[in-house]
Amino acid sequence: MTASKSSRARNARARTQASAAGGGTAVKNTGAARSGTAARNGNASRNGTAAQARTGAARTGAARTGAGRGPRTLEVPDETAQRGPAPWLQIATLALALAGLGVSIYLTIAHFTETALAGCSESGLVNCTKVTTSPESYVFGIPVAVLGLAFFVFAVAIMSPWAWQSARREIHLARIASLVVGMGFVLYLIYAELFTIGSICLYCTSVHAITFLLFVLTAVAAAAWGLNPGAPWKLSPSRPAPEPS
């Protein structure tokens, strides 16, 4: 009996130890499995985050590349870009310059051919012959008619739409300077006619009037569109055109 009980007790203790050993192993195996799973999940999460970051960077780079190298869309303004002063002023100044050129050509021909000017009186206050043959009809030994012809040849070129629309500032400054000199010469000739010669010439007076009108229109253009009216400006019905720089 005693030996049997002792044997049973030893068997029971052996079973208990075996169970405890098996349980520890299971716990260890379970912990290892959980750790491996967590490690794999962490690595997968990091890999996924890195992949998303790379994808986002690739998309951003593609967007930048598309923005830098893709076709560009030019915005077309609603307002019409213009150059030079108003078209009516360009046409008016060119017409006046051509008229002055025509009169100057006629006066130059009459001077060298010594013919009487058509439709001009030969007596009284209006006496074209007296004016065109006076000593004051020469300046520095050059006939005034020739000087007028040279002035209006230059005026036709400088009053053309091409010159008005040019962006070269010196062209517009040359226009203003030439008309200032022309107006000074006109004032001298008017003084000579009225106070020295005592007579006036209708053709000369017409040239003086044309020069004065060109001077006024050029001054208006400079006041309204600046000293460089050839610079682009916007034509807008809602607001006046800004002065070009």
**CATH assignment of the domain containing 145:** 1.20.1440.130
Q: What are 144-167's pLDDT values in tens digits?
A: 999 999 999 999 999 999 999 998
**Positions of E strands within 66-122:** 80-82
Alpha helices in 114-244 (DSSP H): 128-132, 144-158, 161-165, 169-191, 202-225
On whether the CB atoms of residues 234 and 168 are closer than 8 A, the answer is no
Angle ∠(136,137,139) on CA atoms, nearest 5? 75
Q: What is the mean pLDDT of residues 196-220?
A: 95
In a domain, 187, yes or no: yes
In a domain, 129, yes or no: yes
Residue type, 105: I
In a domain, 144, yes or no: yes
More confident residue, 238 or 161: 161
The residue whose two tokens read 């290892």 is 32
Residue type, 97: A
On whether the CB atoms of residues 110 and 132 are closer than 8 A, the answer is yes
Among 15, 31, 63, the domain boundary falls at 63
HSE-CB at 237 with a 13 A cutoff on CA atoms is 1
Q: What are 192-205's pLDDT values in tens digits?
A: 999 999 999 999 99
Per-residue pLDDT band for 238 (boundaries 50, 70, 90) equals: very low
Tokens of 149: 């012809």
Same-domain check for residues 214 and 150:
yes
Same-domain check for residues 49 and 95:
no
Using only the alpha carbons of the chain, give its radius of gyration: 50
Range from 70-84, 114-128, 221-235 carrying the lowest mean pLDDT: 70-84
Same-domain check for residues 49 and 92:
no
In a domain, 74, yes or no: no
**Does the pTM of the predicted model rise above 0.95?**
no
Same-domain check for residues 120 and 28:
no
Q: What are 55-111's pLDDT values in tens digits?
A: 554 454 444 544 444 444 444 444 445 677 899 999 999 999 999 999 999 999 999
Closest CA to 234 of 110, 117, 83: 83
Distances (CA, A) of 193 to 11, 96, 154, 206, 224: 154, 23, 25, 14, 35
Counted domains in the chain: 2
Range of the domain at 19: 1-63
pLDDT in the model for residue 83: 72
In a domain, 24, yes or no: yes
Most confident of 63-67, 171-175, 228-232, 240-244: 171-175
Q: What are 127-150's pLDDT values in tens digits?
A: 998 999 999 999 999 999 999 999
Residue type, 66: G
Distances (CA, A) of 80 to 76, 77, 83: 10, 7, 10
Same-domain check for residues 213 and 180:
yes
